[in-house]
Amino acid sequence: MAQYKGAASEAGRAMQLMKKREKEREQLEQLKQKIAEDNMVKSNIDKKFSAHYDAVEAELKSSTVGLVTLNDMKAKQEALVKEREKQLAKKEQSKELQLKLEKQKEKKRKEEQKRKIASLSFNPEDEEEEEEDEEEEQDYPVKKKKLGKNPDVDTSFLPDRDREEEENRLREELRQEWELKQEKIKNEEIEITFSYWDGSGHRKTVKMKKGNTIQNFLQKALEVLRKDFSELRSAGVEQLMYIKEDLIIPHHHSFYDFIVTKARGKSGPLFSFDVHDDIRLVNDATVEKDESHAGKVVLRSWYEKNKHIFPASRWEPYDPEKKWDKYTVRVISAKQKLISWLFPQFHFKLESRWLCVASPPTLQAKL
């Protein structure tokens, strides 16, 4: 065999090319052999099946002696077929296991060889082995790498269990704080000015808590009024009505409901339970009137008899959905307001549908 004379690098490259060609030739031979084996398997498949069933038939004949029934014959034949299939399956498993062991041995041998070669300072076959490794790596599918998370991206809009738990905890704390605050407001005392109305007014005052209902208020008012009015001695709370700013207030509402919602009536605010007049000399349309009237406590029987007469004709049931943007009560003139401010001892009384000032005849003559 002729030897190549030249540089060592060129000799190594030529050797690598020769080994690569030999490897390709071996792969081609293996491919041809595999095709031939496949063709042989296809041609001999009938023979395999016939050999399998011939063996079963021979076993059946040797194990059967004398006369047997058809069912026994079929059962014995099925048992022999299953036993034969188990034996074939075991043989296949043993072959696969043997091939697997051989592959593992070959792999260990190559790793040992690589380890020995790696200990050398220079090996001309390193490049060839690297090329072989690259070819083997190309045979396996490339795994896609998952992208990492960017810590600078805003993720506040994404669902976060810890953040949601913190928000729920804070929301629960705020809810409890709000409930405690509202409970404190409900326990505050207010003075309720009311007038028992039987055609004329009889003004009284009682102290209640903001959380009390109208029913609680009427019960206390009834205890105060029974001393002075005989018709109320046998009356119950259900026979009384409470009218505030020309609205009939249901018994289940509380003072707290009107205070919190800043409810308004036909003739004034429902959240103010004292009595005061708007004494401004100049009317300003941009400022709401600061005027409150005493609520009326009325017997239901009196209302049924007089609901067609003023002031009962103005009363109507309270509707939380209905909004009163303007007050419809008749107001006194600026002159009368000035008199009320200068002479607080004079009071106003209601005649028909008009409000007028009640004063001594001498003062009326001067005016």
pLDDT in tens, 164-205: 888 999 999 999 999 999 999 889 898 988 989 888 888 889
Q: Name the band, by pLDDT with cuts 50, 70 and 90, for residue 298.
A: very high
Do 276 and 206 share a structural domain?
yes
**φ and ψ at residue 166, rounded to 5 degrees:** -65, -40
Do 277 and 213 share a structural domain?
yes
Asked whether residue 181 is domain-assigned, the answer is no
Do 312 and 343 share a structural domain?
no
Do 342 and 275 share a structural domain?
no
CATH of residue 319's domain is 3.10.20.90
Q: In this predicted model, which residue has the larger pLDDT, 34 or 45? A: 34
Q: What is the reported pLDDT for 328?
A: 63
Asked whether residue 65 is domain-assigned, the answer is no
What is the model's pTM? Answer: 0.43
Do 297 and 248 share a structural domain?
yes
Do 366 and 316 share a structural domain?
no
Asked whether residue 47 is domain-assigned, the answer is no
Q: Name the band, by pLDDT with cuts 50, 70 and 90, for residue 331.
A: very low
Which residue segment(s) compose the domain that 237 sits in? 188-326
Q: Is the pLDDT of residue 348 over 80?
A: no
- Which token pair is 190? 């207010």
Mean confidence (pLDDT) of the chain: 74
Q: What is the reported pLDDT for 242?
A: 92
Do 295 and 229 share a structural domain?
yes
Asked which of 309, 326, 343 is the last residue of a domain, the reply is 326
Q: What is the reported pLDDT for 219?
A: 92
Number of domains in the chain: 2
Asked whether residue 274 is domain-assigned, the answer is yes
**7-16, 176-185, 227-236, 276-285: which has the highest mean pLDDT?**
176-185
Do 246 and 341 share a structural domain?
no
Q: What is the reported pLDDT for 159?
A: 79
